[in-house]
Amino acid sequence: MALFSKRRRDDRPFWQVAPFASGDPGVLYQHGISCVTNSDGRGMMSTGWAIWNLTDINEHQTADFLRDGYKEWRDTPDFDRVLAAQFLQEVLARLASNPDASWPDLYAVPPEIVEPISTHYSVRCWAASELLEVADPELRSSLEPAVYDAITQARRDFVPGRSMSWAETYADTHGLAMPWQ
């Protein structure tokens, strides 16, 4: 008889495993800041994901933890392109909705309304662009139509230049109308 029982291995990807059990996004945020200080990309990503499970993408620097953490992780020897593609697809899936941003004058809308929507769309476009960079050619070609839709459904004001350029090139090479016109 074994003296110690074996712990079940957690098969979730690292970003889905919270750094510790907490229902307080402020406590997780403080941990995320320590991960930033230590250049711990994976820690920033898992912290950002845990905060996102409790709040929205625009709160407690969730978007920054995810994007900056991904960048830190991407620059390490343990970076895995397949895991990266999975992470980016999960981010896109969580941001699949299209918040209303149909105001005639963006600058007349209070920042507390605009900023969450801006963050939503900019993170979605970032994840889409990163996914195209990390995906192998077969996966990339199968994802391009969905990535195009994810980018072009965002209000132009919220689309980063890299995503905008890719979408315009994609439209041109596929005989589609230019987006945002």
**pLDDT tens, residue by residue, 110-167:** 999 999 999 999 999 999 999 999 999 999 999 999 999 999 999 999 999 999 999 9
Q: Do 61 and 94 lie in a common domain?
A: no
Mean local confidence (pLDDT), 69-82:
97
Has residue 142 been placed in a domain? yes
Q: Do 134 and 84 lie in a common domain?
A: yes
* Sign of the dihedral defined by the CA atoms of residues 92, 95, 100, 101, in that order: negative
The answer to whether 122 touches 160, Cβ cutoff 8 Å, is yes
Has residue 127 been placed in a domain? yes
Distance CA 151, CA 155 (A): 9
Has residue 2 been placed in a domain? no
C-alpha angle 55/128/18, rounded to 5°?
Answer: 35
The answer to whether 151 touches 170, Cβ cutoff 8 Å, is no
Q: Do 113 and 87 lie in a common domain?
A: yes
Q: Do 90 and 117 lie in a common domain?
A: yes
| Residue 113 burial (CB count, 10 A) | 13
| Confidence band of 2 (pLDDT split at 50, 70, 90) | very low
Q: Do 127 and 49 lie in a common domain?
A: no
Has residue 1 been placed in a domain? no
- Total number of domains constituting the chain: 2
pLDDT score of 10: 74
pTM across the whole model: 0.91
Q: Do 35 and 71 lie in a common domain?
A: yes
Give residue 176's domain range.
80-98+108-181
Distance CA 131, CA 86 (A): 9
